[in-house]
Amino acid sequence: MLQKEGPKYQYGKGCLSDSLFGFWMARMYDLENPMDESMIKRHVNAVYKYNLRYNLNDHVNPQRPTYALGNEGGLLLCTWPKGGKLSLPFVSSNEVWTGIEYQVASHLMLMGEVEKGLDIVRTTRARYNRSVRNPFDEYECGYWYARDVELRSAAGFNRCLF
């Protein structure tokens, strides 16, 4: 199977939530946008459409399922809305990472999609409501942790556009 799909632990045709992180950072630092803004907006909207889940009861995350589970919602790191999920995708593809959720929410707001950004923030904050998780902690990487997000290549940013 790997001969057909390529190396293991990739995302292939997946819709990657943090694929626009570099473009978001450029915007934060008031740098010139290296790409057509309408394409970036289409992609960040596709991430919202395909990767945000309001309920994870039917979602399987075999790696670290307690980051978000059950009736909780979250923004999945990667989905395959057009099919083509690899047999061995990158290990954390089924996870929800708070830092990525906030980055995507902020990017949506920067692109004029304020309600969609707030929708992600509300969904994220609902997981940290004191009944299950500490509202001042990001559970997925230990106590008092603020996730560092790695820069990813924007090559393939349009993989989840329709």
> 15 pLDDT exceeds 80?
yes
In this predicted structure, what is the pLDDT of residue 2?
Answer: 60
> What angle in degrees, to the nearest 10, is found between the helix axes of 37-51 and 114-127?
40
The answer to the question of residue 152 being in a domain is no
Residue 67 pLDDT greater than 50, yes or no: yes
Query: Rounded to an integer, what distance in angstroms lies between the CA atom of residue 140 and that of residue 99?
Result: 10
- Concatenating the DSSP letter of every residue in 41-74 gives HHHHHHHHHHHEES-BTT---SS-GGGS-BT--E
Q: Which domain holds residue 22?
A: 8-141
Greatest Cα pair distance in the chain: 47
Residue 36 located in a structural domain: yes
97, 78 in Cβ contact below 8 A?
no
With pLDDT > 90 as the criterion, what percentage of the chain qualifies? 38
Q: Cα–Cα distance between 78 and 140 in angstroms, integer? A: 17
Rg (CA), the chain: 16
What is the pLDDT at residue 9? 80
Q: Report the pLDDT value the prediction gives residue 27, as an integer from 0 to 100.
A: 86
Q: How many independent structural domains does the chain possess?
A: 1
Residue 74 confidence (pLDDT) above 90: yes
Per-residue model confidence (pLDDT) at position 103: 93
Query: Residue 46: which of 89, 15, 74 has the closest Cα?
Result: 15
Q: Is residue 162 part of a domain?
A: no
pTM, to two decimals: 0.83
Amino acid at 99: G
In a domain, 161, yes or no: no
- Domain-located, residue 85: yes
Statement: residue 46 has pLDDT above 70: yes
And the tokens for 129?
A: 């409501």
User: Per the domain annotation, does 150 fall within a domain?
Assistant: no
Contacts of 112 (CB under 8 A, 6+ apart): 41
Asked if residue 79 belongs to a domain, the reply is yes
**Statement: residue 34 has pLDDT above 90:** no
pLDDT in tens, 101-138: 999 999 999 999 999 999 999 999 998 887 777 777 77
